[in-house]
Each structure stands twice: as structure tokens, then as C-alpha cells.
Structure 1
Amino acid sequence: MITRVAVLPQPPLLVPELVGGPDADAAKLRESCVQVAARLAAAAPDWVAVGAGSAPAALTPADVGTFADFGVDVEVRLGASAEAEPDPSMPLPALIAGWLRGAAGAAEVQVRILAADTPADGCRRYGARLAEEFGGGDPVGLLVLGDGSHRHGERAVGRPDERAGGFDDAVSAALAAADPSALLDIDADLARSLGAAGRVPWQVLAGFAEASGRWQCAGHELAVPFGVAYHLAEWEPVR
């Protein structure tokens, strides 16, 4: 049974070896993300992670990946005992899920990747299926991975866009309120235009929450240190 939810960003800069030297902003974000992941691991040592990519994929705790395509051959394991050959093509959400698993001391994570263009209704249905699949049994943590807009201010990865601030403020408010309806209302075209990779996994979370009972936010944060919005949130069931 899914007993806790963690919403986290997926920048490769969470991995110290990929930063290339001391960086206070990266270190602060990394520490915050690992703390959230550690609380997820304390609640449930086994995780299911949801992210978006170029094509659907499902990865198991037996899988091993590497950040070699990001410049440094840092291996990550989705399960503590995984011994497979590292896959350099492992999707970024899975790489980050595996790195967070190791950093937080969780036992294993299985990863579900949805296509980045999955419509809201498809995300909602997938979330409902997760609620059914993990509706009983041992505690499971749900890890939701994705970034907000990359078009904030002068440090924007893409061209700065004045709509980015309002977009990510609305996402942050929806996560803080644990509001599935508000997450499902995220405009897919606007999210794509603003480079917000988190839209699909956030809407999967919304479908899961609708189907699994009442949830409340136990903590949230919005950070924009590099022109990209990074959303951190923790949800727990309303008892």
C-alpha cells in the first residue's frame, strides 16, 4: 500500500560528481532532496517512481544505470543487490530515482515512465491504476519526479518567459494544498512551451490521489536557483 508520497525534481546536478566543483545552490538543493527521500525511505523502504520520457518504459529493481551520457560514469542501482550491466540509455527519471534510493538508504525502486505527451486523462487513469495496484500489502513509497519550467529569469535554460512564474506558483500551490483537481488543470500545451517536464507525473499523482482517499501536504518548497523551477513536496494520508 502506498503510504507516503514524495514529489522531487530530477536535475542531474543532484549527483555531486556531475557538478564539477563546489556549488552552494546545488548542494542546498541536493540536501533538501535527500532529506525528503530519507523520510520516504523511513516510511517505506520499497518505492515506485513515476516520471516522463520520450517513450513509455518500466524498470525493475534488478536494473542498473549510469550517468555516463551526462559526462561522468556514475552507476546507480534500482535495487540494493542489483548486479546487471549498467544501461547508459536509462531514462533520466530512473537514474535520479536510483541515485535517490541509494542516498536515502531505501531498499529498491521500480520506475514507471510515461510518454511526455500523455494527455491529462491518460495520466489520471494511470494514477488510478497505481492506486489499485498498490492498494494493499506492505508499505510502498510513491516518488514523483519532474521539473517545473526552465524559463525563469536571466539564468533560464531556454529563453526567459514571463509566464513561467505564474505557472510554477500555481503548481506549488496545488502541491501545497494536495489538490488533485488543480494538478489535473495544468495546461499541457503551456507546460510544454515552458519546458516543464513534471506535468505528466504530477497529473499521475493527481489521478492516484483521487482514487486512493484523502491526502494532505506535510511540507513543500519551490526553488529556482538555476532558472529552472524545482518542486519538492511530501504528502501523507489524512487519518
Structure 2
Amino acid sequence: MLVAAAVVPCPPLLVPEVASGAAPELEPLRAACLAAVRELLASGAELIVLVGGGPEAGVWTEGGVGSFHRYGVSRVVRLPSGGVEGPELAPSLAVGAWLLEQAGATTPTHACAVPADASAERLLGLGGGLAELADKVGLLVLGGGSACRSVKAPGYLDDRAEGYDAEAARALGAADLAALAALDPRVSAELQADGRAPWQVLAGAAQGAGLNGRLRYDEAPYGVGYFVASWS
């Protein structure tokens, strides 16, 4: 059963070595993410499952290793799962592993990557399955909102982006499962919102759990919507 969740974005710039000189600009976001992860770890969850986007579906149950080599940084992170190397983590999950490392996590951890084009029905069903992996499951959900909030954003300016992000932030802060399940895959893709698929996994996992949500962070640095939320 799902007992807690932390929702965080996963830009590689969260890792100070990757951000380099820009690291101080994201310190408020980094602090909010770590606070949410620490609350998740304190929830009593017996198993933590990372859920993030990936080019294809993937599951890590016996460890996994991630790196930031593609950004010119020789930094390696591992899931806290008994020291097993495992296959390479998807980039979003590598950021999650870094957050767990920074928070001093020792709880057994699995990871799951979901493709951006997965249907809501499939994602909701996956979430329901993840919630049954242990008596007390915690999810670390990795993904952000629209990347089209300004002319300097990665996806340039789209007039729909602000409204999309406002509804996503509201739903995450209120633990509104129906609203998250209703997010449109096509619109989400057009707005480059990589959180849509992981958020719908969360919505499936939280069915019947009676969790409450709290929004910790809602800003759009670099024209990208970043939200941090805690569910308990």
C-alpha cells in the first residue's frame, strides 16, 4: 500500500557539479526537493520506488547505477539496494538516486522508467501494481511541468503552458487523483511536460490510500515549470 510520496522535477542542474556556476540559482528548488525526499524517507515506508520518464519502459529491482557523464561530469550514483551495480539508470532516475544519496537513504529501493507516450490507462495500472509491492510503499516521482513558459524556454513560449502548469500544480498540491489521471498525453507532449507519465503512475498507486498533498515549490526557472509536493 502507498503510504507516502515525494514529487520532484529532475533537471540534471539539480546536481551542483552539473550546474557548476549556476548552482546557487537553483538552491531553493534543491532544498525543497531534499526536504520532500527526507519526509518520504521518514514515512516508515519499507520500500521506496523511483518513478521517472525514460526512452523505454524499464525496471530496476536489484540495484542500478546512474551517471552524469553526458553532461561532462564524472559523477556516479547508485540506488541504495545492497551495493548491486545493475544496469544503467535512465537520466531522470539518476537524479532521483542522487537525491536519495544526499538525503542519506538506506531503505531498499526499486526504480521504474516509463515512456512519455504511455497511455494513462497503462500508467494508472502500473501504479496500482507498484503500490502492492510491499505493505508500506513510498514513491519518489520524478518529472516536471511544461518547458514552454517563456521565449527562452527549451520549447519556446506556448500560451497553453501557464494554464497547464497551474492545474498540474494544483492537482499535485491537493493530491487530486482524478485531475492527474485526466492530463492529456498529446497536450503534455506538445508542452514538453515530462512529468505527465510519472504523475499518472502516482495517481494509480494512490487509489484508496487516502493521502493528503502539500505543494512545497511552484516556480518556472528557465521557463520550465518545476513543482515539489509531498503526499502523506
Confirm whether residue 47 of structure 1 aligns to residue 44 of structure 2.
Answer: no
Structure 1: distance between partners of 2:138 and 2:170: 22
Question: How far off is 1:46 after superposition?
Answer: 4.0
Structure 1 runs not aligned, ≥5 long: none
Contact 1:61/1:77 (8 A) holds in 2: no
Structure 2: distance between partners of 1:100 and 1:128: 24
1:20–1:220: structure 2 CA closer, same or farther, 3 Å change rule? closer
- Report what 2:140 is aligned to: 143
- Report what 2:226 is aligned to: 230
**The one of 152, 156, 168 aligned to 1:155:** 152
Structure 1: distance between partners of 2:151 and 2:168: 21
Equivalences, count: 230
- Report what 1:132 is aligned to: 132
CA-to-aligned-CA distance 1:126-164 (integer Å, 9 cap, x gap): 111122233x2xx43211111111111133112211110
* Structure 1: 4+ residue segments shifted above 6 A: none
- Report what 2:111 is aligned to: 111
1:72–1:124: structure 2 CA closer, same or farther, 3 Å change rule? same
CA RMSD of aligned residues (A): 1.8
Question: How far off is 1:90 after superposition?
Answer: 2.7
Contact 1:6/1:37 (8 A) holds in 2: yes
Structure 1: distance between partners of 2:173 and 2:214: 8
**The one of 209, 216, 220 aligned to 2:212:** 216
- Report what 2:197 is aligned to: 200
- Report what 1:16 is aligned to: 16
Aligned residues: percent identity? 37
Structure 2: distance between partners of 1:80 and 1:133: 15
Contact 2:144/2:195 (8 A) holds in 1: yes
- Report what 2:26 is aligned to: 26
Confirm whether residue 166 of structure 1 aligns to residue 163 of structure 2.
Answer: yes
Structure 2 runs not aligned, ≥5 long: none
Partner SS, residue 141 of structure 1: strand
Instruction: Tell me the TM-score normalized by structure 1.
Output: 0.89
Contact 1:60/1:78 (8 A) holds in 2: no
CA-to-aligned-CA distance 1:58-83 (integer Å, 9 cap, x gap): 12352222111122011101016525
Structure 2: distance between partners of 1:80 and 1:214: 28
- Report what 1:73 is aligned to: 74
Instruction: Tell me the TM-score normalized by structure 2.
Output: 0.92
Partner SS, residue 48 of structure 1: strand
Contact 1:46/1:106 (8 A) holds in 2: no
